[in-house]
Structure 1
Amino acid sequence: MSTAQVVRRVAVFGGTHGNEMSGVYLVKRWLQNQEAITRPSFLTVPCIANPRAVERCRRYIDVNLNRQFTPGTFQYCMDVPSTAPYEVHRAVELNKKFGAAGEAFDVIIDLHNTTSNMGNCLIIGSSTDSFTLQMVRYLVQRSGLVCPVFLTENPASHVKMADTRSMGVHGIENGHYGPSCLRSVSRHGLCLELGAQPQGVLLADIFLRHERLVHTCLDFIHKFNQGELFPKETLEVYRILHVVDYPRNKDNDLSAMIHPELQDKDWHPLQPGDPMFLTLDGETIKYEGDSTIYPAFINEAAYYEKGIAFWATQKETLNVNELQVKN
């Protein structure tokens, strides 16, 4: 059996990216009236993570806030250079209040939207954090929603790629995607990534699903604090392997787009020989890997600047330990 410390403080963030509107407006509402997110056994604090970006309805002002929670950023402590990007200043502020430099919140729930057809995606960074795994399992079982789980933990420091360099396949260093994000400053972190929703647009169905998932998370935490025993479970996850870029010409401009047969097929298997891209001249480029992958974040608008057409993942089943609050 695994045990974890009682949860005293939970933070719910919206607006980590200022144009992802569900979290922005949920948090704005909760800042006006916190009764809905109040549970008797712990404190819940709603927060707009990137207020300047929210004001301008932009993803960020200078740099991506969700990649600034690093030792390099936190070395500044109290003295951030005035020339540093706004999001670096903001990351230091948030770490002082919510991270190890401050009151060290126990749980962070970070609300995001994606333009990809990801559904009700739950993003976690560890396959060994029994508390977060049990919370995710509770969401899968109790929310009444289909919730694919995206695991950003990569078991290899560099993953060997099956595709050619011209296909735009890149490896990732171990942990690159996860530990620099906002949720990593707390003991347990979860990202609720819902889509498809255009940037700067508020869709009612996604707003309501986001709200339901947050309430279900808070209900789990309260039950955990009350001593409920959560039994051993299994959990299906999609573990990241690598990113795939768009094919490009000699000027590094796009020469192809997501194939119509792949578009909106997040979480569906992509098998060797399946259509992957369609060139601007109408030629189909097929997936040439050696094994089946499960694409995620297909054609995400915010990832064009990053050179990401989609994330390749593999499907796994994790064993989740029995869990109870530590006495």
Structure 2
Amino acid sequence: MCSLPVPQEPLRRVVVTGGTHGNEMSGVYLARHWLRTPADLQRPSFSTVPVLANPAATALCRRYIGRDLNRTFTNTFLTSRATPDEPYEVTRARELNQLLGPKNSSQAFDFLLDLHNTTANMGTCFISNATDIFAMHLCHHLQFSPPRPGFLICPFRLQLKNPELPTRVLVYRLPKEETYSLDSVTKHGMSLELGPQPQGVLRADLFSRMRSLVSSSLDFIELFNQGAAFPAFEMEVYRYLGCEDFPHTEDGDLAGMVHPQLQDRDFEPLQPGAPIFQMFSGEDMLYKGDSTMYPLFINEAAYYEKNIAFIRSEKLMISVPALPGLTPTPTPLT
């Protein structure tokens, strides 16, 4: 599958979005803070715009009003004719597409970082299209590169190699025109998930970690704009495979819950025959797959309405090609 084009010139327009889900509070309050103090996001070679993505849901501290905004940036929704009874998020998706895109156009913003919280024990997780080479280099940089002394390092920057702060990457592979998330509107982008954090609750540790990761992401873009080249590498990632549904009764009610031996074990290997659900009747339901699987977003509160108990993934090593340095623009003769 073809990769998204590697940037051939500096990234000049960057956007950081919070509140795509209105009850994920770290991104909500960081976006509100930066809207009051946008200078905190600026770097010498580019400008950064903060955006509160779903203000209506944020005002009510709800995930969404009519439908999940982060599932609404498909060409079908973005190009459909407006109707009086359409969900608020469809209207808002078109507004954001006009503000930050249009999607798949040369006028779109260069990069978007979308901020999320999860109730699951996901730690720090970056979610990216594996075909976006620039985003994959940013993930790698945030995972493994220590701060550069004296170079644009925010005081909130964390040492991400701290074993108490595991940092992982979840990837998918879709052509850009098939993607549906907010970060697909711009030329390059990715999402950041931090958890566990309850819906509608702020945690100071995750708030500070998110602010640090945003600052470090902007530092990386500044490095790239200044001509830094980044070599090819191999990277451990988790690749999305599908969803595991909750067990239900014939009437459609829950018949069981996530097994205590699985709860909070996101990214840990799950072997065939291991318990995944504890039924209300008392027995265990076992994983019936024929190979090791890695569950993610285990018992995520927002996924109950989708009947999703967890996401299935596989762990693998991928090769990411080099990110060449930009060629300096010649200075015109006077």
Same fold (TM over 0.5): yes
Q: Does residue 217 of structure 2 align to residue 197 of structure 1?
A: no
Q: Which residue of 2 aligns with 1:89?
A: 91
2:30 to 19, 26, 29: 26
Q: CA offsets, 1:151-177, max 9 Å, x none? A: 1227xxxxxxxxxxxxxxxxxxx999x
Q: Matches of 2:132 and 2:246 in 1, distance apart?
A: 34
* Counterparts in 2 of 1:206 and 1:16: CA distance versus 1, 3 Å: same
Q: Helix, strand or coil for the counterpart of 1:148?
A: strand
Give the TM-score, by structure 2 length: 0.87
1:61 to 38, 58, 65: 65
Structure 2 gaps of 5+ residues are 146-157, 161-165, 328-334
Q: Is the 8 A contact 1:152 1:175 kept in 2?
A: no
Q: CA offsets, 1:186-209, max 9 Å, x none? A: 111110010000000000111011
Q: Does residue 128 of structure 2 align to residue 124 of structure 1?
A: yes
Q: Is the 8 A contact 1:111 1:193 kept in 2?
A: yes
2:110 to 106, 116, 124: 106
Q: Helix, strand or coil for the counterpart of 2:319?
A: strand
Q: Which residue of 2 aligns with 1:149?
A: 169
Structure 1 gaps of 5+ residues are 155-173
Measured after TM superposition, the shift of residue 326 of structure 1 is 4.1
1:240-255 mapped onto 2 (5 Å cutoff): 240-255=240-255
Measured after TM superposition, the shift of residue 82 of structure 1 is 2.0
Q: Which amino acid aligns with 2:132?
A: D
Measured after TM superposition, the shift of residue 99 of structure 1 is 1.1
Q: Does residue 138 of structure 2 align to residue 135 of structure 1?
A: yes
Q: Which residue of 1 aligns with 2:292?
A: 292
Q: Which amino acid aligns with 2:179?
A: P
Q: Is the 8 A contact 1:3 1:325 kept in 2?
A: no
Q: Helix, strand or coil for the counterpart of 1:315?
A: strand
1:176-325 mapped onto 2 (5 Å cutoff): 179-325=179-325
Q: Is the 8 A contact 1:244 1:309 kept in 2?
A: yes
Q: Helix, strand or coil for the counterpart of 1:11?
A: strand
Q: Which amino acid aligns with 2:247?
A: P
Q: Is the 8 A contact 1:3 1:326 kept in 2?
A: no
What is the count of residue pairs matched by the alignment?
303
Measured after TM superposition, the shift of residue 300 of structure 1 is 0.4
Give the TM-score, by structure 1 length: 0.89
Q: Helix, strand or coil for the counterpart of 1:214?
A: helix
CA-based RMSD of the aligned residues comes to: 1.7
